[in-house]
């Protein structure tokens, strides 16, 4: 599992701090209330009830602690934007060079343009990259902003902004 928002070390620190905080808060106990009672009969009845419910109270306390830990750890791990990795997704860095010359505006037999097919395929290729990978989009007309590789989301944004170039002189992009 990889965390898109944090490094694995930072995620471990966050999860450990969450566990420590929840356990500490559960061990905190409010001070007992002092109540003046005129009769020892009430005290005897209270002590018998306390002894009877001790096991049930402990079980309830442990179940409550476990539920609080599960909720706290779920929220804390969600902050790191976790993503499961599969064996086929070991590609770390992806560079997509896409042709956006005027010939890509040609319609195919299914009614879509070659450009639409190319953009869809590029999106699938980007989706196959690893979560911690670097992605770069380049095009043949120079519309894509030059820069360093970034994360998947920024590469998909660049891909969505590209259009078919009608009339510019095609050029092969400079690779970084």
pLDDT on residue 117: 93
Give Cβ neighbours of residue 142 (< 8 Å, ≥ 6 apart). 168, 171, 173
Pick the closest to residue 12 from 77, 85, 72 (CA basis): 77
Share of the chain above pLDDT 90, in %: 15
| Overall size of the chain counted in residues | 176
Rounded CA-CA distance 64/23 in Å is: 11
Contact criterion met (CB below 8 Å) for 94 and 133: yes
What DSSP assignment string belongs to 118-142?
HHHHHHHHHHTS-TT-EEEEEETTS
pLDDT on residue 154: 87
pLDDT on residue 91: 55
What DSSP assignment string belongs to 79-91?
HT-EE---TT---
Average pLDDT of span 95-120: 90
pLDDT on residue 84: 64
- Tell me the average pLDDT of the chain: 80
Rounded CA-CA distance 122/74 in Å is: 33
pLDDT on residue 46: 74
Cβ-based neighbour number of residue 17 at 10 Å:
12
Phi, psi of 42 (to 5 degrees): -65, -40
Q: What is the pLDDT of residues 115-151, one digit of tens each?
A: 999 999 999 888 877 777 888 888 888 888 877 888 8
Q: Which residue has the higher pLDDT, 165 or 30?
A: 165
Contact criterion met (CB below 8 Å) for 74 and 19: no
pLDDT on residue 171: 57
Buried b (16+ CB within 10 A) or exposed e, 146-171: eeeeeebeebbebbeebebbeeeeee
pLDDT on residue 66: 92
pLDDT on residue 20: 93
pLDDT-wise least confident of 22-26, 94-98, 128-132: 128-132
- What is the pLDDT confidence band of residue 174, given thresholds at 50, 70 and 90? low
């Amino acid at each position: 599992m990889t965390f898109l928002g944090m490094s694995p070390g930072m995620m471990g620190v966050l999860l450990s701090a969450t566990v420590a905080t929840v356990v500490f808060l559960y061990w905190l106990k409010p001070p007992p209330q002092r109540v003046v009672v005129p009769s020892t009969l009430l005290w005897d009845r209270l002590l018998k009830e306390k002894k009877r419910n001790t096991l049930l109270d402990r079980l309830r306390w442990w179940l409550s602690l476990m539920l609080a830990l599960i909720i706290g750890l779920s929220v804390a791990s969600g902050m790191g934007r976790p993503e499961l990795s599969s064996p086929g997704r070991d590609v770390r860095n992806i560079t997509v060079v896409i042709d956006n010359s005027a010939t890509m505006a040609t319609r195919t037999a299914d009614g879509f343009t070659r450009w639409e097919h190319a953009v869809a395929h590029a999106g699938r290729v980007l989706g196959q990259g690893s979560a911690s990978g670097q992605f770069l989009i380049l095009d043949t007309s120079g519309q894509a902003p030059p820069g360093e590789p970034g994360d998947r989301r920024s590469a998909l944004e660049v891909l969505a902004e590209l259009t078919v170039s009608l009339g510019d002189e095609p050029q092969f992009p400079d690779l970084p």
